[in-house]
Amino acid sequence: MTVDEELNLLESQLRRLKIEYEVFFSNPQKKPPSDLEWKVLALLRKFSDGGRMSFSQRFRYNEIAQRYAIYSDLWRKKSRIREEGYRRPQDALLSVQGVRPEEHVPEHKVYGVGHAFPTDERFVVHCSDAGAEREKVEKLFIALSEAKKKTGENTSGSFESFSSFVQKKTEQIRKQYGCEKVEYSVDVADGKVKLTAKARP
């Protein structure tokens, strides 16, 4: 099975797992879909290092893993409420309705992929040789794209052109300031995304 086929399988199993959990929470006699969740986790672990994947495949994997992190945290909270009973009105509401993913930040990261999608308003990476540090540039590109998506800005532009830009900028700043590294940061201020490059020793 190819990587793309396995990612398709992972995505369909996660969709099925979400449905199974909805059935579980609406039916007191049901058992949690532990076997299916184990299969989803096994596939997430298999690809967690990202070694066999292309950039687009890794981007897709990160999106699936992040979705699982959001669902998993919600299921954990709803399971606790189910076990302890509905102590507060908002608990009952959570159990019935769930929460919208964009209002909910997962409390844990899944197999080291959470760092690629920063949940705060700032993302920082240091580059000394952008050509050789592809993974760092990929994380920066993903963080920038995600921030732009959140603010509704245009996210067009390929990774290759961005990588070329970072490479040239890093060389230019290192030469100009005689520094070892360049710090790139993605900031969101006043609803606008800003990419900043600074010389670092």
How sure is the predictor about 85, in pLDDT bands with cuts at 50, 70 and 90?
low
Enumerate the domain spans of the chain. 3-113, 118-200
**Residue 71 class from Cβ within 10 Å (0-12 exposed, 13-18 middle, 19+ buried)?**
buried
Whether residue 68 is predicted with pLDDT greater than 80 in this model: the reply is yes
Question: pTM (2 decimals)?
Answer: 0.46
pLDDT at 10: 92
- Give yes or no for residue 83 having a pLDDT over 90: no
The label of the residue with tokens 């990588």 reads 163
Highest mean pLDDT among 45-54, 84-93, 105-114, 128-137: 128-137
Q: Which amino acid type is present at position 95?
A: S
Tokens of 28: 């007191």
